[in-house]
Structure 1
Amino acid sequence: MAQQEKQALPDIHAIAAALPELDGGRPTATNPGILAKRSHEIMVMPGHRAGRSEIGRAIDLINHSASAVATIHRAARRRQPLELQPVKQAIDGLIENFESDPNTLIWALAANRRMYYLGRRSVGCAVWALALGRRLGLDRTALHELMLGALLLDIGKLNVPIVILVKTRGLNETEQNFARRHVTEGIRMLESVGGLSAATVEMVRSHHERIDGSGYPYGLEGDEISLYAQIAGIVDSFDAMSLSRYYADGVSGHAALSTLQKQRGEKFDPALINQFVSAIGEFPTGTWVEFSDGCTGIVCLQAPADQGGTQVVPVADAEQQPFLEVRWLSLHEHSEVRALPPAERPRHAAAMERSLQAAIYAHGAPKRQLAPLVTLG
């Protein structure tokens, strides 16, 4: 296929050289099965505040976005026209919330276990694309295009036989061909939809292409793949690995990032991978972790190294008994902490997480305000 026309978007290699790196976002080669070495020291911080708290608003936005996506999916199944305005409004809300406090939006996404799978994947890809796009310095218009494409990446799966999507074992060649048709099916469904830029459509078309030419449907290589499509490939792969599917258990965000880092320069652009890790942190907000003494905690905040780095709050002891007070731990260099996959979280993880969110965000903003994850001018 002929090389795609390039967009006038930022040079990711120049951005990589210019942006300061956050402590929580250094690339790591840590094996997901091996304990990563970090030290922890207690940092006491007051809670957060407000009528409808920051985390409450973020949860509402995630749910609203999922509802908007579900409406599009219903219309697509019924062969009805796709109305994008509700989704575009949801994108506005996500951008504004992320710029106010990226930690709450990412934590709200990580803690949501009620969305139907395809809707969760759509919203998840949009949030991760927002984080990386913001890190790269994309303007509001570009972020809109990028997030809209992320929400629509897998719309073609609505026309893939359900028996293939829910199969618990590997697909044979015929089934793989059917599954891969979701890309062309998605483009066919979007051809008649107004309000989509050429860049967004190209993003959907090429989100399974890889820089070594091993992707599909066209086998594009390197710069033949647009920036949006390269971002889509990264966030789609990350989100898929982080969730349990019919054929594979989900892994922690930390382990998913480690897998992506091993594919730098092969499947994905190294500069984009580095910026994605810097955007969401080596241990993304919402990650459950286990300390060497068996206690478990949740990553609640990301900050530069001089402001404490990645912040964890322990929630339960080794016997899974919840702690009664909020203690903030700053992860550094020497003790061991392991990121937990979804299947290894405590029995009452959802209730513990809701309780912690309420405790942290109930009584006003922190006295010592931690810097947000993304600090672009």
Structure 2
Amino acid sequence: MRNHFFLAAALALMAIIALGMAGQEVGLGPVIMLFFVLLALGLGRSEQWRRLAFTAWIVAAVAASLFYPAPFRELWGFDLKKLIIPLLMIIMFGMGTAMSVRDFLGVVRMPKGVFVGLLCQFTIMPAVGFGLTKVFAFPPEIAAGLILVGCSPSGLASNVMSFIARANLALSLTLTAIATLLAPIFTPLLMSLLAGQLVPVNAWAMMLDILRIVILPVVAGLAFNHFFYERFPWLARTMPRVSMVGIAVIIAIITAAGRDSLLTIGLTLILATAVHNAAGYFFGYWGSRLFGLDRQSCRTIALEVGLQNSGLASGLALEMGKVATMGLAPAVFGPLMNVTGSSLASWWRGKVGDS
């Protein structure tokens, strides 16, 4: 069945090329959506490429919201942007259920690795994001969104990729946990410093938003995992799927809201986010090497730095009333980092012997 989906996707791709060459833009949207849906179904049934299925579903959702933005902006008179924060809080709750108190105790067991990882996390990506806004002539709010991605902490994606790469998973879990707890302090502070001249930044309001959107749901999920996990074992299987659907919906809503801006600067923004993402991997790895960490820990920190919590960045952009502009960089960064992160993790997995 897997080969049938790939074959159907190949036929859809040929149809896309034919329609494009013929200038038939009207029928292009449904065929592009069909291509990515078929590709996602095929990838989902492939042991080797299953990790990329989620990204294909994301791209299908993005294509749908670009070609048909109206249903993703408002449904039966309801503004769908109002769903972003509740969905993000559900995702953060799911993140909390995947954590335990032991993750925070890693500071005691691996103090050097945790210090280096946090230092890289809150210096490299903000600095690179700020630098890219000087290289690319983005409008101020879109540039601020790129910086916002860099100022956000890492998320669960880095833990998954560290597991795939056979890196230091304990260090990855600890870094994600501590960086998330530090986000209410460092994210508003860095945004005020680096993006304050681009958009108005209320550091106090942003800190409260992070506490409400991230910290409270994560703590609730952590408590649920600690006290009720044995009574609800199905939750561990369900929450990842719920989170993936939530992320897809959030990205589709943001894409529809910022469709006009994205069509204008889309390719340039993709290039900038790709450089941002790659720089996180590169400087995260070699920065850790300069501190004398082993290769396994360096790979972990590279993934922690390169893979950001783009969902949080999207939520903060919404709270600032600029999701259609500041929210675009997080919406592009999320799917992109899943492709690059899984590719890098798989490559490192094959080189685990030299750690």
TM-score of the two chains, using structure 2 as the length reference? 0.28
Bigger share in strand? 1
Question: Which structure has more helix as a fraction of its residues?
Answer: 2
What TM-score results when the alignment is normalised by the length of structure 1?
Answer: 0.27
